[in-house]
Amino acid sequence: MNVVILCAGFATRMYPLTRHFPKPLLEVAGRPVLDYLLDQVMALPEICSVHIVSNDRFFEHFKDWRDNHQAAGRFGRVEVLVHNDKTTDNEHRLGAAGDLQLALRMIGRPSRVLVSGGDNIYRFSLTPLGRTFLSSDRHYIVALPETRIENLRKTGVLELDQCDRVVRLHEKPAQPLSHWVCPPLYFFQPSVWRVLDSFLQTSANHDAPGNFLDYLCQQEEVTAFRLEAGRRLDIGSIESYHRADRELRDGQE
C-alpha cells in the first residue's frame, strides 16, 4: 500500500501564521502536525512509500522536514518523497483532486493507496482500519460522529445505508441528512486511478476532496468505518490550532 498526504493548500484562513510557513508543519504540543500522522502511517502494515504533495511556495519547507527525519532514521525502510505541484498562490491551486492525480502519477502503477490531508491529527488508530482494508476489495472511508448542526454545515456529511455503504457525500449541506462526517482519510483500491481521471475530465470543482468522494461512491462501492468514539483535531483555523495545542499539551501532563 502506498500513502499520499495532501499538503498543497495555502491556508489563507490562518494568516499570518501560514503566510510564509505550511500549516502541516506548524507545531502542536512541540511537534509538527504532520509528525502525528507520520507516526500512525509508519505503524500500518505493508507500506511501500509515502508521497507528500506540496505547492511551490512551501516545497523547500517539506523537503527540509523530510531530509531531517530521514537523517534521523524516522522512516526506516519506507521511501518518503515530496512532490511540487508548481502552484504559487491560492487562486491557481490544483485542488485536492488535482494534487491526488499528481501523486498517483508519481506512484505510477495502480495500487492500493491511503490518502490523507496533512492538517488533521487523528485521535484513533489507523492500524485496524488498514488491516481490514487490505483484506477487502472495497474502498473505505472514515465516518465520525458530529452532533452540532453548525459544524455539520461546514463539512462533508455522509449519507449511509444500513450496511454502512456510502450513498452520497454532501459538502457543507444547509440541511444535513445525518450526523456522520467524513475527515480527509480514504482507503482506495487500485481502480481509483481510472475513476479519478474520469472525475477530473467531467467535473469543474476539483478543490474539496469530498467532491471526488461523492463521485466515486456513485461509480463504485465505498464503505464507511463508523467510529462512534472517533475524534480528530482539524487544524482549520487559528482558534482550532490553539485548541489542539492545549489539548495535546494537557494530555502530556
Query: What's the predicted TM-score (pTM) here?
Result: 0.94
Rounded Cα distance, 218 and 156, in Å: 16
Close Cβ partners of 109 (under 8 Å, ≥ 6 residues apart): none
Residue-wise pLDDT for 152-193, tens only, equals 888 889 999 999 999 999 888 888 889 999 999 999 999 999
101 within 8 A of 197, measured Cβ to Cβ = yes
Alpha helices in 90-237 (DSSP H): 95-107, 127-134, 149-152, 192-202, 209-219
Lookup: cell for 178 = 445525518
DSSP E strand stretches across 124-230: 139-145, 156-160, 166-171, 180-181, 185-188, 222-226
The stretch 105-117 carries a mean pLDDT of 95
Q: What is the average pLDDT score of the chain?
A: 92
Please give the share of the chain, as a percent, with pLDDT higher than 70.
99
The stretch 84-111 carries a mean pLDDT of 93
Give the pLDDT score at 45.
83
Residue-wise pLDDT for 208-241, tens only, equals 788 899 999 999 999 999 999 889 998 989 999 9
Rounded Cα distance, 31 and 36, in Å: 8
CB-CB neighbours of 99 under 10 Å: 25
Residue-wise pLDDT for 51-81, tens only, equals 999 999 999 999 999 999 999 999 988 999 9
24 within 8 A of 118, measured Cβ to Cβ = yes
State the DSSP code for 9.
-
Lookup: cell for 238 = 487559528
Close Cβ partners of 220 (under 8 Å, ≥ 6 residues apart): 139, 189, 191, 195
Give the pLDDT score at 253.
47
State the DSSP code for 158.
E
Residue in the block written with cell 501532563? 253
pLDDT interval class at 252 (50, 70, 90): low
* Domains defined along the chain, listed by start: 2-252 (3.90.550.10)
